[in-house]
């Protein structure tokens, strides 16, 4: 394993301005060059647990399962067993698969459940507390992935390291301590029972977090598989927790939950093939739509972060997010015009009114006409010695989900119900609006933006990528792929590079921490864009397989993210 200190000189801004050099020094654990296999995730403990599974002969899917459980222990802000996610798989023989273990609306959920008598959305009802939770899908997802793809065939070995980490504890980082302290008031407000997180009134870096109740739950899953979670005492505890407040998840909801293998979204971009997640995520369709548009322009000669390139990408994003709000939803319940949206011709039509000099107003953009047919999510990327790859994004939705810990069972419940459209046109926590396609129905899955992706070239895996970030997920994955394919960056550079984002509404280009710089923002403003700086965008984990077979495993420098390989 080769640790490398990277000193990268990056990027010039546009043709009109002087080169601006940014120095990014990668710290320990951020980039690894591996000959055989490796993994990047949001937490060092989870990465180590996943890589250990690779070293004892597990394949990428075994490592992914172990990492999912480990993140539930050591990255509780988003890692979970009380949430859901998506797994994109590409086996070395070319087989591709996508697993949907997204949460579902409980059986007694209904369209207007977050509205008051006047039809107004009740503030934060779909975000904080018991009623915000969808039926968790993670444990069923891990069981299905194990049954179909495990090489190790030792379920217990995949969970035991997480049980040990929960029981013996691990030292929390400064970022985690700050997150815990910021959330304490909500935890105390929404939970009637003391739990591992409220044992202390104030946390500091280095404190030992022990989670004995979570360890017991993981033991039930270790010993009884999905029955250990969806039936028996853990399910009873979850339903009892619902009854302590206004929750509606029932025993029947739990025992009937099923994750689903779905047909992957596949596309092409400048000689590469893209594999990503179909509905109920919007991620795969939107990513391929964006790449279909960008393929028609010579981005490399425009230059990285040139005003022309940013303008083009923003205008593409504006149009595709408008499509998302109308055309996408859970395809089990809504007729998503998947094939029409993915056509290369449709991408050309969508840009008919593109003006290369001037921003189009979002109010002048509607969804296209097609014929019908915080860092609070987390992503990890893994490749094994045989070249099998898995790209997984998993979440509780916002940080610590609903903030409700299941009493006696020690895990957080998601608040994924907020990803539904509570009312047509009413923005969710990420400012995304939706319509009928994403309305609430019992048993339906809420629309996601999660975009775990795998890119191949010449029949071989080249990039494994994904990120958290709510609505910005799609555009962060897009930019990472563009940075590598169009701007010839390494995985480390592509992952560290400044990001921007537009999502149709609000009509705003969001830049990360003023990283585009004053001059570029001024040019974009003159073109008619509104530019607003916001906090960090995304925590991308990228694996880039080089032509010589070596793997550059890059963890995002923005967080505690960690990469390992060998
Ligand atoms: O599925 C989705 O699109 C959201 N629930 C993801 C949430 C997320 O990425 C929060 N993290 N920053």
Q: Which residues are catalytic?
A: 377
Domain ranges of the chain: 32-261+376-438
Instruction: Give the residue, 475 or 24, on which the prediction is more confident.
Output: 475
Tell me the per-residue pLDDT of 66-87, one tens digit each, with 9 for 90 and over: 999 999 999 999 999 999 999 9
Residue 28 has a pLDDT of 76
What pLDDT does residue 49 have?
98
Question: Is residue 14 very low, low, confident or very high in pLDDT (cuts 50, 70, 90)?
Answer: very low
DSSP state of 218: H
Tell me what pLDDT residue 2 has: 33
Residue 16 has pLDDT above 60, yes or no: no
Q: Indicate whether 366 pLDDT > 90.
A: no
Q: Output the average pLDDT for the chain.
A: 93
Virtual CA dihedral for 142, 163, 208, 4, nearest 10 degrees?
Answer: -60
What dihedral angle (degrees, nearest 10) is formed by the CA atoms of 209, 75, 420, 65?
Answer: -120
For the Cβ of 376 lying below 6 angstroms from any atom of ligand 1, the answer is yes
Q: Ligand 1, from 395, 448, 474: best to mutate by most atoms within 8 Å of Cβ? A: 395
Write the residue with the smallest CA distance to atom 5 of ligand 1: 397
Q: What is the pLDDT of residue 395?
A: 98
Task: Note the pTM of the prediction, 2 decimals.
Answer: 0.94
Q: Is the pLDDT of residue 11 over 90?
A: no
272 token code pair: 């590469």
pLDDT, residue 1, reads 33
Write out pLDDT tens, residues 277-312: 999 999 999 999 999 999 999 999 999 999 999 999
Which residues are paired to 266 by β-bridges?
A: 275
Q: Any idea which residue has 């369709």 for tokens?
A: 285
- Reported confidence tier of residue 367, pLDDT bands at 50, 70, 90: confident
Distance 280 CA to ligand 1 centre (A): 13
C-alpha distances out from residue 521 to 175, 212, 305, 403, Å: 30, 50, 11, 37
- Flag whether pLDDT at 268 surpasses 50: yes
The DSSP output letter for 18 is -
CA 548 to chain centre: 29
pLDDT over 70 (residue 222): yes
pLDDT in tens, 388-441: 999 999 999 999 999 999 999 999 999 999 999 999 999 999 999 999 999 999
Ligand 1 atom nearest to CA at 102: 1
Quick check: 13 pLDDT over 90? no
Q: What is the phi/psi pair of residue 89, to 5°? A: -125, 140
Torsion of CA 417, 422, 427, 432, to 10 degrees: 50
Q: Does residue 468 have its Cβ closer than 6 Å to ligand 1?
A: yes
State the pLDDT at residue 29: 85
For atom 6 of ligand 1, the residue with the nearest CA is 470
pLDDT band at 23 (very low <50, low <70, confident <90, very high): very low
Instruction: Name the CA dihedral angle for 352, 358, 364, 369, rounded to a multiple of 10 degrees.
Output: 20
Q: Is the CB of 134 under 6 A from ligand 1?
A: no
DSSP code at position 356 = S
pLDDT of 258: 98
* CA–CA separation, 97 and 454 (whole Å): 11
* Residue where the block lists tokens 């975000």: 127
Question: Which residues make Cβ contacts (< 8 Å) with residue 484, sequence separation at least 6?
Answer: 463, 490, 491, 494, 542, 544
pLDDT of residue 27: 63
pLDDT digits (tens, 9 = 90+) for 84-113: 999 999 999 999 999 999 999 999 999 999
pLDDT of residue 369: 76
Please tell me the distance between residue 29's alpha carbon and the centre of ligand 1 in angstroms: 25
Q: How many residues does the chain have?
A: 566
Q: Per-residue pLDDT averaged across 380-395, rounded?
A: 98
Structure tokens at 217: 């739950």
Token pair of 100 as six digits: 């949907």
Report the b/e string of 275-307 with b at 16+ CB within 10 A.
bbbbbbbbbbbbbbbbbbbbbebebeebbbbbb
């Amino acid at each position: 394993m080769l640790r490398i200190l990277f000193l990268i000189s990056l990027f010039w801004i546009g043709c009109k301005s002087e080169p601006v050099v940014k120095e990014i020094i990668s710290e320990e654990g951020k980039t690894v060059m591996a000959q055989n296999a490796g993994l990047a995730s949001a937490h060092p403990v989870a990465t180590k647990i996943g890589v250990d599974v690779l070293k004892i002969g597990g394949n990428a899917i075994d490592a992914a399962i172990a990492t999912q459980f480990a993140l539930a222990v050591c990255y509780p802000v988003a890692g979970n067993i009380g949430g859901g996610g998506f797994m994109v798989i590409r086996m070395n023989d070319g087989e591709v698969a996508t697993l949907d273990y997204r949460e579902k609306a409980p059986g007694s959920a209904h369209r207007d459940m977050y509205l008051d008598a006047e039809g107004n959305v009740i503030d934060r009802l779909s975000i904080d507390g018991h009623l915000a939770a969808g039926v968790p899908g993670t444990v069923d997802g891990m069981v299905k992935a194990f049954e179909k793809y495990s090489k190790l065939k030792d379920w217990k070995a995949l969970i035991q390291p997480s049980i040990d980490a929960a029981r013996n504890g691990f030292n929390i980082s400064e970022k985690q301590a700050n997150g815990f302290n910021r959330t304490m008031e909500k935890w105390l407000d929404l939970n009637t029972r003391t739990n591992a997180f409220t044992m202390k009134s104030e946390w500091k870096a280095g404190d030992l977090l022990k989670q004995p109740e979570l360890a017991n739950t993981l033991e039930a899953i270790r010993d009884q598989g999905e029955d250990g979670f969806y039936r028996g005492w853990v399910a009873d505890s979850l339903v009892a927790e619902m009854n302590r407040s206004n929750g509606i998840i029932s025993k029947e909801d739990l025992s009937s939950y099923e994750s689903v293998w779905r047909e992957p979204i596949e596309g092409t971009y400048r000689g590469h093939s893209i594999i990503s997640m179909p509905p109920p995520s919007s991620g795969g369709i939107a990513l391929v739509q964006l790449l279909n548009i960008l393929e028609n322009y010579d981005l490399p000669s425009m230059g990285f972060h040139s005003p022309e390139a940013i303008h083009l990408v923003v205008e593409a994003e504006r149009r595709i997010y408008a499509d998302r709000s109308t055309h996408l939803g859970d395809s089990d319940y809504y007729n998503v015009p998947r094939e029409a949206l993915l056509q290369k011709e449709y991408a050309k039509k969508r840009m008919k009114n593109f003006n290369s000099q001037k921003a189009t107003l979002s109010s002048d953009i509607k969804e296209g006409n097609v014929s019908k047919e915080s860092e609070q999510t987390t992503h990890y990327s893994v490749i094994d010695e045989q070249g099998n790859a898995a790209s997984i994004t998993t979440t509780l939705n916002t940080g610590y989900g609903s903030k409700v810990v299941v009493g006696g069972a020690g895990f957080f419940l998601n608040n994924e119900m907020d990803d539904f459209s509570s009312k047509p046109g009413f923005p969710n926590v990420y400012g995304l609006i939706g319509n009928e396609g994403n309305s609430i129905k019992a048993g339906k899955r809420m629309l996601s933006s999660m975009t775990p992706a795998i890119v191949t070239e010449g029949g071989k895996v080249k990039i494994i990528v994904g990120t958290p970030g709510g609505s910005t997920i799609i555009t962060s994955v897009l930019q990472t792929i563009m940075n590598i394919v169009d701007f010839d960056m390494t995985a480390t550079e592509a992952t560290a590079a400044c990001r921007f984002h537009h999502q149709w509404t609000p009509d705003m280009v969001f830049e990360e921490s003023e990283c585009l710089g004053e001059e570029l923002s001024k040019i974009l403003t003159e073109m008619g864009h509104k530019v607003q700086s916001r906090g960090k965008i995304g925590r991308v984990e990228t694996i880039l397989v080089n032509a010589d077979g070596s793997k550059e495993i890059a963890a995002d420098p923005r967080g505690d993210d960690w990469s390992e390989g060998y």
